[in-house]
Chains A and B, each alone.
Chain A
Amino acid sequence: MKGNFFDSKVFKILFLILIILIVVMVVINTVYNREKSENSNNTSVNELSVENVLTAEEIEENTNQLEIEDLKDKDERTRMQQYCGKFIRYIEEKDYDKAYALLYPDFKNNYFKTVEDFEKYAQEKFPSSLITVEYNNIERQGKYYILFTTIKTPLDTNYSMDQKFILIENGFNDFQLSFDVKLD
């Protein structure tokens, strides 16, 4: 009788389930801890080894990771302003490919079929350097954020352009935007 319970099917199944769960628990714990330590190492190591060791892709990935970490404790308004600022920064740095990549596909299709079209427009309408953005108002309509801004530059006090930006945020640092194109 004594051995019966330990030999029974129920006991064996329960014991097997328990062992499997413990193994899963250990695996999750190990992976989680490793990721955690890798993340914390990344930020400190990167600063030391940026010079020669990292490739451009790795730098970009790390920058993206840092931006994500920075965005995590920001409120909606600040995040939208940072996204908008990122787009403007690309224009300011004449990195039109990157700015173009942030545009919403249908918007690109409507107004800027190629990156060259966009580059031409940006050069024509935006200041060539030192672009400042004044955020006048922000409205949210469901998943859409509408930012009402004024574009200025300290280099030309006569220059001022009201500019609306529409953004959708899919995740941290993962967004798409469009803006009102000045057709004249």
Chain B
Amino acid sequence: MSFVDTRLKIRRFFKKYKKIIIFIIIVWAIIFTVNYILKNMPKEEVPKTTYEPNVSVMSDDEVPDKWQETIESTIDTFVQRCNNKDYENAYNMLSDDCKSEVYPTLNSFKSYVDNRYSSKRAYSIQNFSNVGKQYIYDVNLMDDIMATGLTGKEYGYLEEKFVFTEDDDSLKLAIGGFVRKQNLNVMAEDENLKVNIDSKDVFYDHENYKVTLTNRSKHPIVIADGSSTNEVSLNINTDDRNEKNVGTYGIVLQPGESKSYTFTFTKYCDDGNAPQYMMFNAIRVLQSYSGDESTRQSELDNAIRTYSLRINFPTK
């Protein structure tokens, strides 16, 4: 191919695609110019700080940009409403589950507000941890320190966890560390005992299980009397957690009797472990039960049966 041919080909190409080439050049020039303008727009310099309220202190991940402003303004509105004792509007900001499980009545919420916001509060926020589409914030409430200058007071604050849950295209707010309610509907039974684990309330640092126990035998059954610390426990894969309060009140079921309890176990919702099973480690089916400390050992010696019961949670 001669030089002339090549030249002609190039010329023909440019002639043929002239419009497209000019169009591309103009569009490219526009993009270049817009980019230049944006780059050289005068920027307002803001002081650099190490404060990153929307970056998790636990894992360094950041709350999605689209939610940051919503979260900050929601917390601000909530705190201001509590400061102004605007109980009803503040209460209506809470998710339905938080309302039903933590503050079932407006009065219970009022008590919370009056207790926490006894004087006008200032606050600071810090994203603490994120679990899936749930964003957990530390909200530190303190006196209005700018207005008081800490006059006559020591520096201190009340810490509370606010949890935002992404639901479709909105966020739901829960306070008091409440994360979510989960229906379980787990049932286990043998010839003596029937155990229904209906649901659990997950809080940031503990879980509350709602359990109904039914004595199916013709004998009294002692499930807990504080004689050991692990009468009721929860396995969370890595270790067993003992129920926190059962030893203080004890669980005794008379023949045919059914009672409901709330069992509380320490568990952090962002520890990455799922509860595997609940254990009743010392079920005692007795001939008779008096509740008297002096006869306790003899009643136990005459027990019909002493055993443990494990209730597995369904794996996802």
Chain A nearest CB: distance from B27 CB in Å?
Answer: 7
Query: Which chain A residue shows the least CB distance to B26?
Result: A14
> Given A25-B37, A110-B148, A14–B125 Cβ distance below 8 Å?
no
Give the contact stretch, choosing among B44-52, B160-168, B264-272.
B44-52
A171 touching B152, Cβ below 8 Å = no
In the assembled complex, which residues on chain A have CB atoms less than 8 Å from the CB atom of B1? none
Give the contact stretch, choosing among A50-58, A153-161, A174-182.
A174-182
A-B contact pairs, 24 of them (CB 8 A): A10-B23, A14-B26, A21-B30, A25-B36, A25-B37, A28-B37, A28-B41, A29-B40, A76-B47, A76-B48, A76-B49, A104-B147, A106-B144, A111-B149, A139-B155, A140-B51, A142-B140, A143-B124, A144-B146, A166-B149, A171-B46, A178-B147, A180-B150, A181-B149
A166 touching B145, Cβ below 8 Å = yes
Segment 27-86 of A: residues with Cβ below 8 Å from B: 28-29, 32, 35, 71-72, 75-76, 79
In the assembled complex, which residues on chain B have CB atoms less than 8 Å from the CB atom of A106? 144, 146-147
In the assembled complex, which residues on chain A have CB atoms less than 8 Å from the CB atom of B122? 144
Query: Which chain B residue shows the least CB distance to A139?
Result: B155
Segment 1-48 of B: residues with Cβ below 8 Å from A: 18-19, 22-23, 26-27, 29-30, 33-34, 36-37, 40-42, 45-48
In the assembled complex, which residues on chain A have CB atoms less than 8 Å from the CB atom of B255? none
Chain A nearest CB: distance from B230 CB in Å?
Answer: 40
Segment 94-132 of A: residues with Cβ below 8 Å from B: 104, 106-107, 109-111
A180 touching B149, Cβ below 8 Å = yes
Q: Kindly identify which residue among B23, B140, B146 contacts A168, using a CB–CB cutoff of 8 Å.
A: B146
Interface size, chain B (Cβ < 8 Å): 42
| In the assembled complex, B142 has its CB within 8 A of some CB on chain A | yes
In the assembled complex, which residues on chain B have CB atoms less than 8 Å from the CB atom of A11? 22-23, 26
Which secondary structure characterizes the binding site on chain B? mixed
In the assembled complex, which residues on chain B have CB atoms less than 8 Å from the CB atom of A144? 122, 124, 145-146
A15 touching B149, Cβ below 8 Å = no
A183 touching B47, Cβ below 8 Å = no
